[in-house]
Amino acid sequence: MDLIDKGLSIARNPKHTQWICPLLLLADAGLCLLVIRKIPYTEIDWKAYMQQITQYIAGERDYIKLHGDTGPLVYPAAHVYIYRVLHFFTDSGNDVRLAQYIFAGLYLATLGLVMQCYRRARAPPGLFPLLVLSKRLHSIFVLRLFNDAWAVFFLFLAIYCYQARAWTLGSVAYSVGLGVKMSLLLALPAVGVVLWQGAGRDRAFLNAMQILQFQLALAIPFIAVKPWSYASRAFELSRQFLFKWTVNWRFVGEDVFLSSGFSRALLALHASLLALMLSMQWLHAPPLVAIKELVSLPSPARQAEIQRRVTPSYVLSTILSAVIVGCLCARSLHYQFYAYIAWSTPILLWKSGLHPVLVYAIWGAQEWAWNVYPSSNVSSMVVVACLAVTVASALVGGREESLSASKARKKRQ
């Protein structure tokens, strides 16, 4: 019984993460090396990335004309610059093994950031093994070399900076990630709320302008040639995805999947869930009061109260809940989108107050579903069900430490 009690104490007490995290990182580093050496690399997009970069190096700046074997370049400019560097170091993309080692380093750096974000949110040690056990996540980083790996790195770097109240650095990191892949637009509503409440209205507005200006700065070489060409490719909101590659909504059938009615329904669901998140979790005031405080600045005392409630836990759960809402309402998720989901669901499920056994069970079902290839009706139903449970958990909430932390600080004062 003493051993069981000791084990439960370690699993529940956040102070133990200071030694558990380094051990998990070390173990995962070994696992990454094993994966690279023992599991064959799978070519999907890397060759096409390198073909597009070769054309960029040759002087092509019309985005519509940049293409590879898998199709045209459909990512923003930061993607081009990152893979230009990789093109240089990997012998024009021919040294795939070196690229895998670089991505293994990126994976471990991202994992380290995720762990630090979880630690700042006071997550229990029992949650951390879920961060290193994903088969699909290792595949995305070190066997597929997808650009989502870079986008998710900058997403968690932004969260880490926002948790430390480094608002400008966080906004720059977020903008770089958005410049890699527009999937990070899913987090934008929550980023706005965090900045508005944590930094204040005026500074939040400045940070929003910085995010936009940084995007424009990245795109200058391309928009100077054909601005519409760049905008239509890098941020192609009307892009159509093929039914055969979808991981999530396959079970509705191809006719429904491709219909405009289904697309509009998902868009309406997305807007509705974001509105619910705003009113139930994100805002520290009723919506009408919050709008009034946006138009007319609150008193210094009220602003200080709002800012105190923007804790590391609040920042992490708010931004990740926006990402999960977006993933639930996306018409088509491909396998690489799991990079945004795998490290988001554990903390959101835990914060809802679910029993750890249920958290592990939901995570296990989710992991299974994302490793079914090709996706099936059953696996796609499980994907959607797990996302729906996570969104519902984030909506009802439970372990919001911001209020208790605020009360504790007042008592100490």
pLDDT per residue as tens digits for the range 350-361? 999 999 999 999
Closest CA to 379 of 160, 151, 136: 136
Note whether residue 71 is domain-resident: yes
Q: Which domain holds residue 275?
A: 11-412
What is the number of alpha carbons within 13 Å of residue 351 lying toward its C-beta?
A: 29
Residue 3 belongs to some domain of the structure: no
For the entire predicted model, the pTM comes to 0.93
CA gap 366, 372 in Å, rounded: 10
Domain contains 1? no
* Domains in the chain, number: 1
Say if 271 falls within a structural domain. yes
HEC string of the chain?
Answer: CHHHHHHHHHHHCHHHHHHHHHHHHHHHHHHHHHHHHHCCCCCCCHHHHHHHHHHHHCCCCCHHHCEECCEECCCCHHHHHHHHHHHHHCCCCCCHHHHHHHHHHHHHHHHHHHHHHHHHCCCCHHHHHHHCCCHHHHHHHHHCCCCHHHHHHHHHHHHHHHHCCCHHHHHHHHHHHHHHCHHHHHHHHHHHHHHHHHHCHHHHHHHHHHHHHHHHHHHHHHHCCCHHHHHHHHCCCCCCCCHHHCCCCHHHCHHHHHCHHHHHHHHHHHHHHHHHHHHHHHCCCCHHHHHHHHHCCCCHHHHHHHHHHCCHHHHHHHHHHHHHHHHHCCCCCCHHHHHHHCCCHHHHHHHCCCCHHHHHHHHHHHHHHHCCCCCCHHHHHHHHHHHHHHHHHHHHCCCCHHHHHHHHHHHHC
Q: pLDDT (tens digit, 0 to 9) for every residue of the chain, 413 residues total?
A: 577 777 777 888 899 999 999 999 999 999 999 999 999 999 999 999 999 999 999 999 999 999 999 889 999 999 999 999 999 999 999 999 999 999 999 999 999 999 999 999 999 999 999 999 999 999 999 999 999 999 999 999 999 999 999 999 999 999 999 999 999 999 999 999 999 999 998 999 999 999 999 999 999 999 999 999 999 888 877 666 778 889 999 999 999 999 999 999 999 999 999 999 998 899 877 778 877 877 788 888 888 888 999 999 999 999 999 999 999 999 999 999 999 999 999 999 999 999 999 999 999 999 999 999 999 999 999 999 999 999 999 998 755 544 444 444 444 33
**Location of structure tokens 């000791």:** 6
pLDDT, tens only, 131-155: 999 999 999 999 999 999 999 999 9
